Amino acid sequence: MSEERATEMVARIARAMVETPDEVSATIGEDRGEPCVDLLVAESDRGQVIGRGGRGAHALRTLLRAATGPRSAGGLGLRIVD
């Protein structure tokens, strides 16, 4: 899956999780020298995306890994931007 499609997938899923979907955006960024999806949500919705015990963020990372492959093989990571 291309980086653009993976980014749109993450944004679409995040929009379904939050109260203000208009404020969700996802872009390609870099984390420790490796490509990742930077997910930006409203501050009031950040807890919804991260989830209890980080379960929401973990689920998003799992879906992203399934779509793009592991980071060690050139796949994308996920970073929820503050």
pLDDT over threshold 90, residue 1: no
Average pLDDT over residues 50-54: 93
Condensed to tens digits (0 to 9), the pLDDT of residues 22-37 reads 999 999 999 888 899 9
Residue 31 is predicted with a pLDDT of 85
The whole model's pTM is what? 0.88
**For the chain, how many structural domains are there in total?**
1
Distance separating alpha carbons of residues 30 and 46, to the nearest angstrom: 20
CATH number at residue 8: 3.30.300.20
Averaged pLDDT, 11-28: 95
Domain that holds residue 49: 3-80
Residue 48 burial (10 A CB sphere; 0-12, 13-18, 19+): middle
